Every structure is written in C-alpha cells, then in structure tokens.
Amino acid sequence: MAALETGRFLGWITNQPPYCAFHAWLGRGEALAQSRRRFDTGDVEGAGQALPDEIVDGPWLHGTPDDCRQQIAAFRQTGVTSILLYVAPTPELVTGADALTDVLAYLASS
C-alpha cells in the first residue's frame, strides 16, 4: 500500500507543470517522457512506476527511518537548510497512535 501511494504521489507531483518544467530545464525531459505519457492518459499510478530510479533517488527520501536519517544528513552536508517531508501512509504509521510523531521526532534529531 505504501509503495502504491508513494508511486501515485510521485507520478502526480513530478508531472505537474512547474516540476515538469524544472526537470526539463535540468535536462531530464527524455528520462521522464514515459512517465509523462502515462500521466497524460490519466494513469497516475503508472506514471509513478515509470519514473527512473535516479529521479526518485535524487530528491526523495525513502527507506527505513535510519536510511532517511542518513539521507537527511547527506543533504545537510551539502548545504541544504530546508527539507519538506511528505510521509507516505505506511501501515506502521497508520496503525500506531504515536508512530508518525515518533518517526518525525527521530528524523528531526538527525
């Protein structure tokens, strides 16, 4: 479920005009062409699945909380001062009353 939701989100957000234009400016237009074609036909889930790994792995944090902490630390080491988190609704976060708060506190301490 989490991968499905994340894929839908990434397929949707990456193909919004400002992000699409930004990626084209970065020279990633061809890499995103298949995702864009799927998005344009209404296949948002397929658009997310068609995103190349290098597009997903670059700006998106994903993995275990420890993996995400390491990725946040790597961003900070390069000078990034602001990070916007979109937390996918994984089963662990949905079922645990304090799970989301605990994960966010853990990530904030990195």
Decide if 54 contacts 8 (C-beta within 8 A): no
Decide if 8 contacts 45 (C-beta within 8 A): yes
Answer whether residue 1 shows pLDDT above 60: no
pLDDT category at 106 given cuts 50, 70, 90 is confident
* pTM (two decimals): 0.63
Residue showing tokens 């998005």: 39
> In the predicted model, what is the mean pLDDT of residues 88-93?
74
Contacts of 80 (CB under 8 A, 6+ apart): none
What percentage of the chain exceeds 90 in pLDDT? 35
> In the predicted model, what is the mean pLDDT of residues 63-85?
88
CA distance 110 to 106: 7
CB burial of 45-79 (b: ≥16 within 10 Å; e: otherwise) equals bbbbbbbeeebeeeeebeeeeeebbebbeebeeee
Q: Is 70 or 60 the better-scoring residue by pLDDT?
A: 70
